[in-house]
Structure 1
Amino acid sequence: MGLSEHKVEVVIAVSDLDQARAFYEDQLGLRLGPRQDVEDQGVRYTCAAGTGIFVYLSPDNAGKSSATLAGWFVDDLDETMTDLSSRGVTFEHYDLPGISTDARGVFDDGRLKAAWVKDPDGNTIALTELST
């Protein structure tokens, strides 16, 4: 059957669960799962189409990856960035081979536009708008 037939969930380690919850809930606007999935060591958020994100307490692993750990596909990147900026979210700026962002933090290669944010532990999250 293979795993492609099953739901997948992103899992992100953080060092301070209260600080992470403030970021993921207040700044990113994520909502708790239908069962109010708050555990002693983590919190589960539901997203579209049965997807989700589990943020869990693991100080030894928090922020260790320099890679993007999660990403959302959004319909309107500019609108999403404006909304998140109003909540205090700041966007990363890159000038790397193959990825260079503009002054606002947007990468645009004509096929897609993307922007990145970091949570309080430095975990990188992407926002992507696909061109139609």
Structure 2
Amino acid sequence: MMDFTNVMAVLPASDLGRAQAFYKDKLGLEPDPEMSDTGGVVYSVGGHRFLLYETGFAGTAKNTALTLETANLDGTMTEMRGRGVSFEEYDMPGLKTENGVAGIGTERTAWFVDSESNIIAVSERS
């Protein structure tokens, strides 16, 4: 049996400094100072981590790259909008947003695009 001990999402950035500013200014996140030897910047959120690293391939994925969970989607979206985050609107088979939010099963989810064109979701489980 495999003995995995952790999982870490990885997000590409074409400009690491610009990406760090986005995650600080728009999402209020600070890099984890204990994880400074990773070849990028690591953020810790709710006991989980993600690595932001510089590459020329940033923004090429057309899928959700990261989901941030919250207990209060409406309040989180209000705060994020106040920080300049714009939420995407989708209208396709199986997915339609209203005011940026789609209901998917027992979750409500909204999507935004970060400074590096990565698609990020914010989700609330009911």
Deviating 4+ runs (over 6 angstroms) = none
Q: Summarize the Cα distance change of 1:67–1:18 in structure 2 as closer, same or farther, 3 Å threshold.
A: same
1:81 equivalent in alignment to 2:77: yes
Tell me which amino acid in the other structure corresponds to 2:18. Answer: Q
- How many Å separate the matches in 1 of 2:37 and 2:84? 24
1:112 equivalent in alignment to 2:107: yes
Unaligned ranges ≥5, structure 2: none
> What residue number does 1:68 align with?
64
Q: Summarize the Cα distance change of 1:38–1:18 in structure 2 as closer, same or farther, 3 Å threshold.
A: farther
- How many Å separate the matches in 1 of 2:84 and 2:66? 19
Output the aligned Cα RMSD: 1.7
What do the CA deviations read for 1:19-59 (whole angstroms, capped 9, x no partner)? 101111110111211426377x521111112x111110002
Give % identity. Answer: 38
- How many Å separate the matches in 2 of 1:109 and 1:46? 26
- How many Å separate the matches in 1 of 2:5 and 2:34? 20
Question: Aligned match of 1:55 in 52, 56, 69?
Answer: 52
Unaligned ranges ≥5, structure 1: none
| Aligned pairs, number | 126
